[in-house]
Structure 1
Amino acid sequence: MNNNLLFDFTVDKAAKTVFITREFNAGQSLVWDAFTKPELLDQWGAPAPMRAKTKYMDFKVGGRRFYAMISPDGQERWGVQEYTSITPKTNFKMYNSFADKDENRELPGSEWDYNFSEQNGVTKVSITIFNESFERMEKILDGFTIGFKMILTNLEELLTTLSQKL
C-alpha cells in the first residue's frame, strides 16, 4: 500500500472556493464508480457516526441525486446534487444545495467540479468547490472541512477493500 498519497485541502476565502486534491491507491474506473454509483456513495459519503442514504440518483446531465446524511439518533440532513456536465471517467460537475425532506432547496448552494486522472495505478481526484455566498461558506466551513476529510478516509478504506476483491 502506498502511504505517500497526496492529500491537499486548501480554502481561498476571498474566492469563496475550496480546492481538494486526493490520491487513492486504486484504478480510475473504480474511483469514478465510487463517486457516481449510489450503492458505493452510500458506503462512504457521510462522516462517522453518520451514514449516507440516497433516495434516488440519476447520474446524467440534468439528472439529480437526492440524499441524506443521517445521524445515529435518526436526524436527517438532506441535499440535492444536480449534474451539469459529465465526461465519463474523467470529469463531472454538479450544483449542490441543502434541502428539506421534500426536496425544497435551501439556496444559495455551491458548484462542484471533479477531475479524475490515473498514473501507475494511483488515481488523483481534484475537486473545486465554488460557494455562491461567502456567508454560506463561512457558516459551514469548519464542519465541512472536518467532515469531508473524514469521508475521504472512508472512501480510501472502501477502495482498499474493493481493490482486494478484484
Structure 2
Amino acid sequence: MPVIDVTTDTDNLTLTITAQFAAPVERVWEIYADPRQLEKIWGPPTYPATFVEHDFTPGGRATYYMTSPEGDKFGGWWEFLAVDPTSSFTFRDGFADADLNPDDSMPVGENHYAFSAADGGTRAVYTATFNSADDLQKVLDMGVVEGSSSAINQIDELLAA
C-alpha cells in the first residue's frame, strides 16, 4: 500500500497524506498530467472519475465527476495555481453541481502535491488546507481520509500496468 502516513492538523487546518511509490518521479507525475491516467486513480475504486476538462497549467481548470456504483454523479473542480513539472502543483479543489459549476455551499481546499525521489522511487506528499475548522471537519466526516487513501493506493496498479 503506497499510503504510509495520514496526519490531520486542526490547528493549521490541514490534512496531509504521504505515499511512497516504486516508480520514478517522472512516471508518477505523468498520472496527474494525463487526464486519462488520472481518471484511473482519482476517486475511490468504486467511484471512477471522468475528467471533462484538464488544463494542467497555472490559471487552468479541471472539471470532473465521479460515478457511484448506483450511477449517481458527483462533480468537482480544480483551479491550478502553480505547476512545477515533475516536482509539485498547487490547486484549489472544490465540489461541483450537476453542471460542473462550483458548489459554493461546500468546502474548498487548497491542495499542494509534492513529489521527490526517495528510497529508489517517489515520495508524494499531498497536503490540503482548509479555510476553517468546520470545513476541515466537514470533509473528514464525508470520508476524505478513506476515499483519498483508497484512491492513492490504486496508483501502484496503474504503475505496474
Q: TM-score, normalised by structure 2?
A: 0.91
Any unmatched runs of 5+ in structure 2?
A: none
Deviations 1:25-74 (A, max 9, x none): 01111100112210101011121211111111111111011001110111
1:153 matched residue in structure 2: 153
What is the CA deviation profile of residues 73-111 of structure 1, one whole-angstrom value per residue up to 9, with x for unaligned ones? 111110000100011110110000101122321234000
**2:47 paired residue number:** 50
Q: Deviations along 1:98-140, whole A, 9 cap, x unmatched?
A: 0112232123400001111113531011111101132222122
Q: In structure 2, what is the equivalent of residue 124 of structure 1?
A: 123
Match among 96, 99, 102 for residue 99 of structure 1? 96
Question: Counterparts of 1:9 and 1:156 in 2: how far apart (Å)?
Answer: 18
Asked if 1:32 corresponds to 2:9, the answer is: no
Identity %, equivalent residues: 32
Matching residue's letter, 2:108:
G
* Corresponding pairs, count: 158
Among 62, 81, 84, the alignment partner of 2:81 is: 84
Aligned equivalents of 1:119, 1:128: Cα separation in 2: 18
What amino acid is the match of 2:146?
Answer: I
Asked if the contact 2:91/2:111 (under 8 Å) is kept, the reply is yes
Give the distance between the partners of 2:18 and 2:119, measured in 1 at CA.
17
- SS of the aligned residue for 1:106 comes to coil
Structure 1, unmatched stretches of 5+, are 162-166
Q: Is the 8 A contact 1:93 1:112 kept in 2?
A: yes
The CA deviation at 1:15 is: 1.6
**Larger proportion of helix:** 1
Is 1:25–1:160's contact at 8 Å kept on the other side of the alignment?
Answer: no
Q: Over the residues paired in the alignment, what is the CA RMSD in angstroms?
A: 1.6
Contact 2:3 2:152 in 1 (8 A): no
**Alpha-carbon distance in 2 for matches of 1:139, 1:73:** 23
The residue aligned with 2:16 is 19
**Cα distance in structure 2, aligned partners of 1:54 and 1:46:** 11
In the alignment, the residues of structure 2 paired with residue 21 and residue 147 of structure 1 have an alpha-carbon distance, to the nearest angstrom, of 14
Amino acid paired to 1:97: G
Amino acid at match of 2:45: A
Cα contact 1:91–1:114 (8 A) shared by 2 = yes
SS in 1 for 2:40: helix
**Distance in 1 (alpha carbons) for counterparts of 2:66 and 2:131:** 22
